[in-house]
Amino acid sequence: MSDLPQRLSLREVGPRDGLQNEAPVATAAKVALIDALSGTGVGRIEAVSFVHPRAIPQMSDAAQVWSSVRRDPGVRYSALVPNLTGAERALEAGFRELEVVVSASDTHNRTNVNRSTGESLDDIAVILERVHAAGGTCQVIVATAWGCPYEGEVALERVIGVARRAVSDGADGLSYGDTTGMATPSRVTRLVGETRAALPDTGLNLHFHNTRGTGLANVLAALELGVSDFDASVGGLGGCPYAPGASGNIATEELVHMVEDMGVATGIDLEAMIEAAAQAERIVGRTLPSQVLRAGPRTRTVA
């Protein structure tokens, strides 16, 4: 096995990516979950998204959630935005770390934000300028990076082209989203390799779903290439509201459990994260897919 990074940087996306796919959750419950996650040692939390309430009503209380969160000085909190209006709302609420998403697949992009990929990239250029003028940073997330639920395969060249455009317009980093869990380790290796060749100085985050059971295998493939920045979602919450059947981000506690046992530090208290996953399960009122939540860590023994 190749040398692995000594430490990972994890972004917890359950409060945003996870809860936007559930029945609407009370504002106080969202705040309590974010506060619980802030106490696990995770360094970054994607707290809310500023989308139109008609599109995703689950996030209609984003500003109220953010105003009530107990903000840990050791945690970086960010917000996802779909367009310039969302970016303005996020900046007004006090966020200075934003993410904006664009799909490599034109069909998925139109379904998601009602415009073509090219039109979104034009908007993103304006968003980046506005965020930078406010003293903030903005990462560009390229969704459907490993395939589209409507179009199927998305050419690697198209994904790289979208990434190049975003970086040339001033993106502070890139994230590739496996929107419907279509990635496999060999595909991860190819896309990461091509991206490194094209954009060697750009920070890269990877966002995997476990829809088809390959989530942690994809993480391992990326780790062996030296990637050290990943998204994960407490309890395995999440999916994509515009991609049928795309349930299940990789579970934060499962990722932490695996990489810590491999000698890769995360700074996260695994037991505290499992407790947060149990809290998330109570909040949404259904069984979450995390196996580590069910079985506990490998070091747990039967009395």
Is pLDDT of 222 > 90?
Answer: yes
Q: What is the CA radius of gyration of the chain?
A: 18
Domain ranges of the chain: 78-295
Q: What is the pLDDT of residue 246?
A: 58
Instruction: Quote the CA–CA distance of 295 and 38 in Å, as a whole number.
Output: 23
Is pLDDT of 213 > 90?
Answer: yes
Which tokens hold the place of 117?
């990929």
Partners of residue 48 on adjacent β-strands? 79
* Mean of per-residue pLDDT scores for the chain: 95
Is pLDDT of 242 > 90?
Answer: no
- Exposed / middle / buried, residue 173 (Cβ in 10 Å: 0-12, 13-18, 19+): middle
39-95, pLDDT tens digit by residue? 999 999 999 999 999 989 999 999 999 999 999 999 999 999 999 999 999 999 999
Is pLDDT of 244 > 70?
Answer: no
H-assigned helices in the chain: 27-38, 62-68, 84-93, 106-113, 117-133, 156-168, 185-198, 215-223, 252-261, 270-284, 291-295
Q: What is the pLDDT of residue 47?
A: 98
Instruction: Quote the CA–CA distance of 254 and 19 in Å, as a whole number.
Output: 19
- Exposed / middle / buried, residue 85 (Cβ in 10 Å: 0-12, 13-18, 19+): middle
Is pLDDT of 2 > 70?
Answer: no
Is pLDDT of 1 > 80?
Answer: no
137-172, pLDDT tens digit by residue? 999 999 999 999 999 999 999 999 999 999 999 999
Q: What is the pLDDT of residue 63?
A: 97
> CA separation (Å) from 209 to 38, 73, 134, 183, 215?
23, 29, 33, 8, 6
Q: Is 240 a catalytic residue?
A: yes
Q: What is the pLDDT of residue 112?
A: 87
Q: Considering the chain, what percentage of its residues have pLDDT values greater than 90? A: 91
Q: What is the pLDDT of residue 21?
A: 87
- Split at pLDDT 50, 70, 90, the class of 241 is low
Catalytic option among 101, 104, 128, 240:
240
Residue 158 gets which letter from DSSP?
H
Is pLDDT of 245 > 90?
Answer: no
Residue type, 202: T
**How many CB atoms within 10 Å of residue 259?**
24
**The total number of residues written for the chain in this structure:** 303
Residue 1 gets which letter from DSSP?
-
Is pLDDT of 232 > 60?
Answer: yes
Q: What is the pLDDT of residue 180?
A: 87
Q: Considering the chain, what percentage of its residues have pLDDT values greater than 70? A: 96
Is pLDDT of 293 > 70?
Answer: yes
Helices 156-168 and 117-133, packing angle to 10 deg? 30
- Among 19-23, 65-69, 182-186, which stretch is predicted with the lowest mean pLDDT? 19-23
**How many CB atoms within 10 Å of residue 32?**
17
Residue labelled with tokens 């984003």? 62
Q: What is the pLDDT of residue 251?
A: 98
- The CATH architecture one would assign to domain 78-295 is Alpha-Beta Barrel (3.20)
Is pLDDT of 128 > 70?
Answer: yes
Which tokens hold the place of 37?
């996650």
268-292, pLDDT tens digit by residue? 999 999 999 999 999 999 999 999 9
